[in-house]
Amino acid sequence: MKKAYIAIAIMLVLAPIFAWAAEEVGYSEPLENAAEDVGAEEGESIFSGIFPDYSIHGINPYVSAFITGLIGCLIILLTTMIAWKVKNG
């Protein structure tokens, strides 16, 4: 179990590096490109999330890649912890 947490932590630390590398190749979402090519309008988004595109307002994008990754993992772990508590009474 401990090793699994370490593996997750390593991936989160790597997240900013991957964010940088994706920028280096001029990454943009393939399906979004395709949609643009055929002129599909991305309608006014109804809801774009609390941290749109894994960014936190006013924080460096690489730092936010790490923080948002951590937040995502914590939400999942907390939810399962609650489920576990509920089930075990």
Partner 1 sequence: MYGISIAVIAYSIKKVGKIDSSKIPLIGIVAAGIFAAQMLNWPIPGGTSAHFVGGALAAILLGPYAGMLAMTSVIVIQCLVFGDGGISALGANIFNMAIVDVFVGYAVYNALRKYNKFPAFLAGWLGIWLAAIACGVEIGISSIFAYKITVTVPTMAIWHGALGIIEGIATMAIVSYIKSYHSEFLPSGVTT
**Cα separation, 37 vs 57, whole angstroms:** 29
Q: What is the CA radius of gyration of the chain?
A: 17
Position of tokens 């920028």? Answer: 23
Residue 5 touching partner 1 (CB under 8 A) = yes
How crowded is the C-beta side of 60, counted as CA atoms within 13 Å? 6
Q: Which residue in the set 44, 57, 58, 88 belongs to the binding site for partner 1 (CB under 8 A)?
A: 88
Q: What residues make contact with partner 1 under the rule CB under 8 A?
A: 1, 3-5, 7-8, 11-12, 14-15, 18-19, 21-22, 24-28, 30-31, 33-35, 38-40, 45-54, 65, 68-69, 71-73, 75-77, 79-81, 83-84, 87-88
